[in-house]
């Protein structure tokens, strides 16, 4: 049996991508930057990551997961 679950979580999506963007910037730079310089890099990275995720996340907050109970799998469907 296949079950589709539609989730809406604007904060969860935003915060998850933002945390990933911050980690990415920290991994890339080894320099001391001001808070505003660091935030600029994080914002740019966040925008790029959000765009990359847009195939699966509609309007920055909707995700559909299809669970196949027979196969024991779960897949995030394109939006």
Give every CB contact of residue 45 below 8 A, 6+ residues apart in sequence.
21, 24, 25
pLDDT 10s digits, 32-66 = 778 888 889 999 999 999 999 999 999 989 999 99
Element at 9 (helix H, strand E): none
Element at 68 (helix H, strand E): strand 62-68
A 10 A CB-CB count for 25 gives 20
42 neighbors 27 (Cβ within 8 angstroms): no
pLDDT 10s digits, 13-32 = 999 999 999 988 887 776 67
- pLDDT of 28: 76
């Amino acid at each position: 049996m296949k079950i589709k679950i539609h989730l809406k979580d604007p904060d969860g999506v935003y915060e998850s991508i933002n945390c990933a963007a911050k980690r990415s910037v920290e991994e890339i730079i080894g320099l001391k930057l001001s808070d505003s310089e660091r935030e600029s890099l994080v914002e740019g990275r966040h925008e790029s990551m959000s765009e990359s995720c847009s195939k699966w996340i509609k309007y920055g907050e909707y995700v559909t997961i299809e669970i196949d109970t027979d196969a024991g799998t779960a897949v995030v469907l394109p939006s």
